[in-house]
Amino acid sequence: MKKLFILFLSISTWSSAQSTFNLIATIPVKADFFTTDKQGNIYIVKANELSKYNRTGKLLYKYSNKNLGNIDFVDVSNMLRLLVFYKNFSQVVFLDNTLTLSAEPVSLDKMGFQQTQLICSSYNNGMWLYNQQNLELVRIDQTFSKTQQTGNLSLLLHIYLQPVYLLEYDNKVYLNNPSTGILIFDIYGTYYKTMPVKNIQSFQPVGNQIYYTTDNRIKAYNIKTTEELQFEMPETEFQNFRIEMDILILQANKSIMIYSSQK
């Protein structure tokens, strides 16, 4: 096992105590992107294929639909109702925890939601959409009825909008607009504040901290205190990361690496 001495990682915060990180598995894949659920399962996307691995790197299930093209986004915050988004076809697919299709693909265009650029899961089996045509966030419930909408955010906030990432977490909605920072809303679509972290592609909220990567380091921004912390990484080159429970997952050029932590 490869041992590395870096700051201790936990699901709620980073502490200053030293820890040993062990490389417990490497998944040899050149992934487009990956994500994780709260149990540490890893979901890897390569073109039109989604693969699910457990926290030790064992392959569990696969899903693919070549008719819908490449997968653009996967939301696994609801482990029993995974959301898979195909932007070019404006289609959403829902899978269960074995990556089995739960229902027929949903066409956002046919529902009247044209030019949907971003999408994520919401509470009670709802979804948030970012509509490029109207520059607004829209929430729809499990019956695909519109329940909230923000109106034109560019006009409301007086900013140029070209967001790249959307996520609901802990009763907040996060919209990453790299040129201005991460816009934060409540679950009713009311604007709260902007986190002034610019020019990042993705991030991970954990408690009050927002973790993101820059210059081969993880940084954490506390949305309540605005304090920022910075941490060394076990690898010098990586593309993305995720934190789940006591494991750290890094995406390198041709592999996904899983580390466990021990004090």
Non-local CB neighbours of 74 within 8 Å, separated by 6+ positions: 35, 43, 45, 50, 82, 83, 84, 85
Cα–Cα distances (Å) from 49 to 40, 103, 156, 211, 220, in that order, read 20, 18, 39, 27, 31
**Sorting pLDDT into bands at 50, 70 and 90, what band is 4?**
very low
> Over the chain, what is the mean pLDDT?
89
pLDDT of 7 > 60? The answer is: no
The pLDDT assigned to 20 comes to 64
CA 209 to centroid of chain Cα atoms: 14
Annotated domain spans of the chain = 3-262
The pLDDT assigned to 175 comes to 98
pLDDT of 202 > 70? The answer is: yes
CATH class, 3-262 region: mainly beta
- What is the share, in percent, of the chain residues with pLDDT greater than 90? 78
pLDDT in tens, 203-230: 999 999 999 988 777 899 999 999 999 8
Q: How far is residue 45's CA from residue 74's CA, in Å, rounded to a whole number?
A: 8
Higher pLDDT, 32 or 234: 32
Say if pTM beats, i.e. exceeds, 0.75.
Answer: yes
Q: Report, as an integer, the average pLDDT of 234-244.
A: 85
